[in-house]
């Protein structure tokens, strides 16, 4: 099978880079409507990896404001009594 036959079958040889990254060919990204920052679904089917473009254009997670993060940190802060007990236990265990 020569390179032209591979191209006609919509196949490409892709090199796996650091952290498992691969680059989808520009033509494929254009044909599939995939742009930088888009979300794609990856699934494994046996020894095959399938990437599917998703309709959503935003990440499926929530971005918290600085005020919300500060509130979370305050809620997670240990009281002085508990902090002292933890410190005492750490010192006595060493």
pLDDT tens track for 21-44: 999 999 999 988 899 888 888 999
- Is residue 77 within 8 Å of residue 62, measured between CB atoms? no
Cβ(40)–Cβ(51) under 8 Å? yes
What CATH topology corresponds to 11-53?
Pemi-like Protein 1; Chain: D (2.10.260)
pLDDT score at 58: 59
Closest CA to 58 of 37, 80, 34, 75: 37
What is the pLDDT, as a whole number, of residue 9?
A: 61
**Residue 7 clears pLDDT 70, i.e. is over it:** no
Q: Are 32 and 53 in contact (CB under 8 A)?
A: yes
39-89 pLDDT tens trace: 888 999 999 999 988 876 555 677 889 999 999 998 888 888 888 888 888
Q: Where are the domains of the chain?
A: 11-53
pTM of the model: 0.47
């Amino acid at each position: 099978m020569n390179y032209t036959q591979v191209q006609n079958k919509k196949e490409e040889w892709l090199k796996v880079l650091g952290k498992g990254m691969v680059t989808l060919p520009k033509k494929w990204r254009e044909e599939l409507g995939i742009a930088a920052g888009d979300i794609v679904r990856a699934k494994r089917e046996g020894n095959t990896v399938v990437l599917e473009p998703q309709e959503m254009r935003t990440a499926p997670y929530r971005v918290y404001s600085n005020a919300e993060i500060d509130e979370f940190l305050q809620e997670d802060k240990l009281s002085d009594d508990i902090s002292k007990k933890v410190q005492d236990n750490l010192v006595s265990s060493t």
